[in-house]
Amino acid sequence: MKIYNYPSAAAEKKVSALVNRDLDFKQKDYQVVSRIIDDVRRNGDNAVIKYANRFDAPKLAPGSIKVTAREMDAAVKKVDRRFVRALNRAASQIEAFHRQQVQQSWIDTQRSGTLLGQLVNPVDAAGVYVPGARGGKTPLISTVLMTGIPAKIAGVKNRVMVSPSTRAGGVNPHLLVAAKKVGIKDIYKVGSAWAIAALAYGTETIPRVDVIAGPGNIYVTLAKKIVSGTVGIDMIAGPSEVLVIADHTATPEYAAADLLAQAEHDVLSSAILVTDSDRMARAVAAETDKQLAALTRKEIAGESLKRFGAGFVVEDLDAAVELANRIAPEHLELQISEPFEYIGQIRNAGAVFLGHYTPEPVGDYVAGPNHVLPTAGTARFSSALSVDHFLKKTSVIHYSKRAFKKEAADVMRLAELEGLDAHVRSIKIRMKNP
């Protein structure tokens, strides 16, 4: 991991590359995904099965797309008690956090003669996308919880899950048990762009939904981007990111481990260290090299650090926080002596982890806040997945005759300036014929 003194010309070049980094969609990939979506839209289950057979499960049949009750019952018998205990803890704490986000409808009658308000209602149907992760061998259980629980709390009645089939034509039992835990009954063995298309437009087997949530590879991300507007989506997410701010009290082994925890995700992931201590920067860099050698995914993590990793030495912690705000990372860790003193200075981050014993993985699994977070600098204007993503807000407006007459002239004047004659007439006709 290369160390930079910030500010400097070399450091600025590196920071600019990180800040201006986009999701890097290739036109070829966009065209491929567009064709897949059009195919599914026209041909439904036949198209879905065609792609599933080609890329995931060669023998998956049209009649076996949906997970059966028998498969759900069998899954329960295949998982151990330790998993169930961990699942229950995670689900309970995630649910407790997200219940704090629930909004209520409201009515305001303070202005004489008017009733104004907002209706808050869940969408009718939501689709949860859960990546296959190496053919089902590394099931992303946390994704089921982080997407399914907010939808449940929002009150969405029809919740479905899609996840790529294994080669044998099944779904990892841990995913099925997690889905059952959060109340998802309808699960389909399809993934990638064709699964997103099926959720957006519906097929003979897979129902159309109103909102799609959940992470995925470049093809899933592109598919969500293309169907956005036809359905709601959570966000357009890129590779995972972490920025660790460390002062002299940080433990180099901890900081290095947390940087690598993100770097191992993907060669495109970014892991950034910011510190006010040159000594700490070099200690973390050395420890990172040491730990990297022992990782199963060392090639991936190593390439990630080489391309998108860096260490920045700044003047003080105020400068460190400002640099973090500029980069707007998905995950921001404050491994410093007084992390709570700096909360008020943090403007741009998907999630903030405070203290030496709050590594990012606790947020991934059990802490409670959602781990589906904005990436690629979008934390400047977007937020974590929440209950809100599954809710709609409808405005309510009522005027009495008296209140209408009081404001009619102002409405007409504004409509006249905009050149909208029919708008003016809509008001004037009521003034002439009360």
End-of-domain residue from the set 218, 233, 248: 233
| Six-digit token string for 358 | 């709050």
The per-residue pLDDT for 434 is: 63
Looking at the structure, tell me whether residues 145 and 248 fall in a common domain: no
Contact 175, 144 (CB under 8 A): yes
Strand partners, 117: 107, 396
Q: Is the pLDDT of residue 390 over 80?
A: yes
Which residues does the annotation mark as catalytic? 330-331
- CATH at 201: 3.40.50.1980
Looking at the structure, tell me whether residues 299 and 223 fall in a common domain: no
Q: What is the pLDDT of residues 53-63, one digit of tens each?
A: 999 999 999 89
pTM > 0.85: yes or no:
yes
Q: What is the pLDDT of residues 184-219, one digit of tens each?
A: 999 999 999 999 999 999 999 999 999 999 999 899
Average confidence score pLDDT of the chain = 96
Q: What is the pLDDT of residues 337-378, one digit of tens each?
A: 999 999 999 999 999 999 999 999 999 999 999 999 999 999
Of the listed ranges 14-28, 49-63, 173-187, 357-371, the one predicted with least confidence: 14-28
User: Phi/psi of residue 360, each to 5°?
Assistant: -55, -35
Q: Binning pLDDT at 50, 70 and 90, where does residue 23 land?
A: low
Q: How many CA atoms lie within 13 A of 147 on its CB side?
A: 29
The per-residue pLDDT for 333 is: 98
The strand order across the sheet containing 391-399 reads 106-108, 114-122, 391-399
The C-alpha atoms of residue 105 and residue 127 are separated, in whole angstroms, by 24
Looking at the structure, tell me whether residues 10 and 31 fall in a common domain: no
Q: Is the pLDDT of residue 232 over 90?
A: yes
Looking at the structure, tell me whether residues 60 and 204 fall in a common domain: yes
Q: Binning pLDDT at 50, 70 and 90, where does residue 134 land?
A: low
Helix ranges restricted to H, 182-297: 192-201, 218-227, 252-263, 278-292
Looking at the structure, tell me whether residues 120 and 226 fall in a common domain: yes
Looking at the structure, tell me whether residues 19 and 127 fall in a common domain: no
* 320 part of a folded domain: yes
CB atoms within 10 A of CB 151: 30
Mean pLDDT on 314-318 = 98
The per-residue pLDDT for 407 is: 97
The C-alpha atoms of residue 389 and residue 172 are separated, in whole angstroms, by 27
Looking at the structure, tell me whether residues 12 and 71 fall in a common domain: no
Q: Is the pLDDT of residue 132 over 70?
A: yes
Contact 250, 257 (CB under 8 A): no
- 15: domain range? 3-23+238-368
Q: What is the pLDDT of residues 67-101, one digit of tens each?
A: 999 999 999 999 999 999 999 999 999 999 999 99
The greatest distance separating any two alpha carbons of the chain, rounded to the nearest whole angstrom, comes to: 84
Looking at the structure, tell me whether residues 178 and 268 fall in a common domain: no
Looking at the structure, tell me whether residues 287 and 353 fall in a common domain: yes
End-of-domain residue from the set 209, 233, 257: 233
* 380 part of a folded domain: no
* 420 part of a folded domain: yes
Pairing of strands 125-129, 106-108: unpaired
The per-residue pLDDT for 291 is: 98
How many structural domains comprise the chain?
3
* 394 part of a folded domain: no
End-of-domain residue from the set 206, 233, 260: 233
* 393 part of a folded domain: no
Looking at the structure, tell me whether residues 256 and 294 fall in a common domain: yes
If residue 246 lies in a helix (H) or strand (E), which one and from where to where? strand 241-246
* 89 part of a folded domain: yes
Looking at the structure, tell me whether residues 19 and 50 fall in a common domain: no
Q: Is the pLDDT of residue 133 over 70?
A: no
Q: How many CA atoms lie within 13 A of 219 on its CB side?
A: 17
| Six-digit token string for 427 | 């008001």
Q: Is the pLDDT of residue 113 over 80?
A: yes
Looking at the structure, tell me whether residues 247 and 320 fall in a common domain: yes
